[in-house]
Amino acid sequence: MIFRFLLLLSILILPIVGIVVYGRYLLGRWLNSFEQKQPPKQITQKLVKCAYCGTFVPESQAYPTQDGYYCSQEHTKL
Ligand SMILES: [Zn+2]
């Protein structure tokens, strides 16, 4: 009787354990793909156009003025 009960219990529990393990595996894969997609967005910088010559330069290297962005200090004076 106890053997039958354990057999029935294992039949019921095994699929649940399988679903939980597979669910965690899928969740881990989903989180990994999410983390791998994030860094490129942070690396790519916003490009700004020089108001004088039209050259695109990263915003961190550009010279911002009231008229807009410039690629070099000389172009801000022109
Ligand atoms: Zn320029």
| pLDDT value, residue 39 | 62
Contacts of 68 (CB under 8 A, 6+ apart): 48, 49, 51
Token pair recorded at residue 67: 């008229």
**What's the DSSP call for residue 45?**
P
Residue in the block written with tokens 């910088």: 45
- CA of 70 from ligand 1 middle (Å) equals 5
7-14: average pLDDT: 89
Cβ distance 57 to 71 under 8 Å?
A: yes
Examine the pLDDT at 5 and tell me if it is beyond 80.
yes
Q: Give the tens place of pLDDT for each residue, 12-66.
A: 988 898 999 999 999 999 988 877 776 665 567 899 999 999 999 999 999 999 9
Q: Which residues surround ligand 1, an ion (CB under 5 A)?
A: 50, 52-53, 55, 71, 75
